[in-house]
Structure 1
């Protein structure tokens, strides 16, 4: 059997309900010929830790990346990334756009000019773009300089006064990344199967969209934020959400362009495509913005999969899977699709193949976990508990069956003590399992959390 090409499309800070609120015809088409996972979670609700979870198939307790200012993943982990395993199996591996496996401040600005460091993660071809266009020089800022728009763009960024007409959609950062990825596919001639990872910068803040995408959505018609009743805050959130959805639609446009490029090359039917994000975005829900929280809009992500290896009923088309799935599942999924055996190394992985889950051919999760610093989350079919050692223990307990919007926090409420105890014990058992093969410094960190 011919091994499939693999395409991973990774948005930045995209909440799953954006797919229902924005015009996304190309992502809808992807779901219609594949699987949409409606209970997909990031393994850590912050950029760098989550992306480290994806590329290593391990949790922060295992790989050691707990924040955005962390140094790069340890070298032994880099050697065990899934791009490295695909590379050893004969795939040509390419990365275009944002990666955020390390922070620019932790490793030095000059690394943005050096693709060799990323090639150490297992990529044959690298075309990285950073998201700080004010302080850094990278390919995108040089592109803006070449077209005479860098000074204009940076002035708007400093003043946070966006002119939607200043850049065409194909000159905007995600347009630039999308166009670069399309050209890469058009030029691909290698006989080796291709793994291509495209990292978009949006819809991460600032909430700006270019051209017609900036006016595609009416701020007054946006879904109001959860647990907020202040009219001024609701209006401000509406303006942010309208721009956010505009960026989602821009990304969708390039999903269509990439699929069209694959089809023109005769590669589409032989390509397994995965679309997801590193984490979500609260955008005003509960009076909060950004990520770093375990509320559903922050910790949940969109996840679509289409292509070879998925058993579908031709009459019914795409399917919806409601099993609990995680960012750590991308690693075993890509190796499964490629027919690779996982080199487990010193630390076993807990991820499951999404192909097995989609085809009802493998194990299921009874519980799902996510962590960030001293905070840990566990959820199952009924309950979600969030535990923070720095804040004194259980912070949130939600009955997701009765309260899917997480408006009624039952932590510390009389009558729920046994529920709290059960899920805290589940969390600690999970952490003990993870740290059995973990480096000494991580075991020491966890011991401090427990005490």
Structure 2
């Protein structure tokens, strides 16, 4: 593994030489909250329209198998910013676990490379990223409010001022400030002599409880909302640890109207898409588009009625799969054509190394992901270099139990291109050592749990060994 990492760093540095020699690109990383992978029009959604997200995919790439390593808000955001799994960076749940001060911090690495770095929007991590150094900060505490949000802003001296209320819809307000910071850096229509920038723009939408921007409140009113094929599946054969979770439709007041909930969820995503369009237009208007890389993703997926459930947390596909759209600056050549769909499995732990490669640097050894850019390079004659080979398996972890809301047990698992093994290990006692096994090639909806079938003992044992090897490689530990 150490040999592979050394080769990977050397190849990454070699491939980054053009970026170091030339002007480095600006980079924008956008993240939504709870947007599952198939809720984009470019992913085939039947009525949701996301023309601006689609534009990123059309002019760049859509990674169709993008996953999060812990399907929960705060942990996922910490993973993006550190390039580390939750057990390593310290932010394991939404209950207040804090960032490990020794964890690598992507914005600091970017500043070392000569970038100005701004954060706008939702962090959800304790401290709200306010203890960190920013060239500009405009962020809010916790979940924030969709309407009349309360937000804190940094001044010219870099100090973050008090929280204060703003008129408008949260993501509109946040995007206003993000665009203002990005465009005001220019003087006389040029960025000549300016440092390149990285903007982290983290939206609130479409997090529950769904409150669309007023302009979109009647959108999709006539859309036909279809329940998923798994709506009436009782989950027979699934462990009690899955079936006892408090995430059923109707258990909470805002989930009793399924059609209305789906429409509002889509309306919130449309509000995000409006703001993605504003960012792209600002890049066009300021002539920065050709020199700026744009990435778009989400912090986790979301059940939308599979087994009549909502929310995320579990390792099932609706919960762990998210969008990943990447548009590269024109200076980068040798990549696949715009509009390409890329199937290799990539993770949120990969985003930090990807951003650093774009910036002309290399990921610190403490980061646990790898850049996704080699997977987008145009095929070349000869053998595929190590960094261009897709991963064969990856590790998942979830820690938030007990909690006051959804009662989802701690679990971990391994996913390959064909198999998924999930282990509920602690607590409570009666749910320990429950397992799920799915043949994703033949059962992509995860209907049939094969874990307890005698014929599958060999497969379970092999996947357990793979998971153990990944845990050892990642330094994964059980957290009580």
Scaled by the length of structure 2, what TM-score is found?
A: 0.77
Structure with greater proportional helix content: 1
Give the equivalent residue in structure 2 for 1:358.
376
The correspondence for 1:392, drawn from 432, 445, 448, is 432
What is the aligned partner in structure 1 of residue 74 from structure 2? 48
Q: Corresponding residue for 1:295?
A: 316
Pairing partner for 1:128 from 125, 128, 139 = 139
Aligned residues: 394
- Is the CA contact 1:97–1:199 (under 8 Å) kept in the aligned structure 2? yes
Aligned mates of 1:139, 1:81 — CA distance in 2: 21
Deviation at 1:219? 7.2
Paired residue for 1:166?
none
Residues 25-424 of structure 1 mapped to structure 2, 5 A cutoff:
25-77=51-103, 80-102=104-126, 116-119=130-133, 123-130=134-141, 131-133=143-145, 137-139=150-152, 142-144=164-166, 147=167, 171-189=168-186, 191-218=194-221, 221-229=224-232, 236-308=257-329, 309=332, 311-312=334-335, 317-344=338-365, 348-359=366-377, 362-373=388-399, 374-390=410-426, 391-424=431-464
Instruction: Classify 1:68/1:235 alpha carbon distance in 2 versus 1 (closer, same or farther; 3 Å).
Output: closer
Q: Which moves more between the two structures, 194-203 or 175-184?
A: 175-184
Give the secondary-structure state (helix, strand or coil) at the position aligned to 2:417.
Answer: coil
Q: Compared with structure 1, are the counterparts of its residues 249 and 310 closer, same or farther at alpha carbon in structure 2 (3 Å cutoff)?
A: farther
Tell me if the contact between 1:48 and 1:101 (Cα under 8 Å) persists in the aligned partners: yes
> CA–CA distance in 1 between the matches of 2:435 and 2:149?
38
CA distance in 2 between counterparts of 1:136 and 1:127 reads 12
Provide the secondary structure at the position in 2 that maps to 1:274. strand
Unaligned runs of 5+ in 2: 1-21, 154-162, 234-248, 380-384, 400-409
Task: Return the offset for 1:179.
Answer: 1.8
Structure 2: how far apart are the matches of 1:335 and 1:48?
A: 22
1: distance between equivalents of 2:150 and 2:36?
29
Distance in 2 (CA, whole Å) between partners of 1:235 and 1:219 is 19
Return the offset for 1:97.
Answer: 0.7
Q: Compute the RMSD of aligned alpha carbons.
A: 2.5
- Whole-Å separation in 1 of the counterparts to 2:182 and 2:149: 27
Distance 2:338 2:474 in 1: 38
Distance 1:174 1:116 in 2: 19
Q: Distance in 2 between matches of 1:117 and 1:226?
A: 46
| Cα 1:419–1:221 shift into 2, 3 Å | same
**Matched residue SS, 2:361:** coil
Aligned mates of 2:101, 2:229 — CA distance in 1: 42
Q: Distance in 2 between matches of 1:229 and 1:223?
A: 12
Q: Distance in 2 between matches of 1:40 and 1:325?
A: 5
CA contact 2:34–2:299 (8 Å) conserved in 1: yes
TM superposition shift of 1:178: 1.7
- Comparing 186-195 and 29-38, the one that deviates more: 186-195
Aligned to 2:243: none
Q: How far off is 1:187 after superposition?
A: 1.0
Tell me which of 8, 17, 27 is aligned to 1:6: 27
1:159 aligned partner? none
Match of 2:304, SS state, is coil
Are 2:352 and 2:363, in contact at CA under 8 Å, matched by a contact in 1?
no
* Aligned mates of 2:362, 2:65 — CA distance in 1: 27
1:116 is displaced (CA, Å) by 4.4
Alignment partners' CA distance in 2, 1:416 and 1:351: 31
Residue 385 of structure 1 and its aligned partner are, at CA, apart by 1.1
Q: Which moved more, 1:373-382 or 1:23-32?
A: 373-382
Alpha-carbon distance between aligned partners in 2 of 1:369 and 1:236, rounded to the nearest angstrom: 35
Q: Would you say the 8 A contact 2:232–2:308 is kept in 1?
A: no
What SS is found at the alignment partner of 2:455? Answer: coil
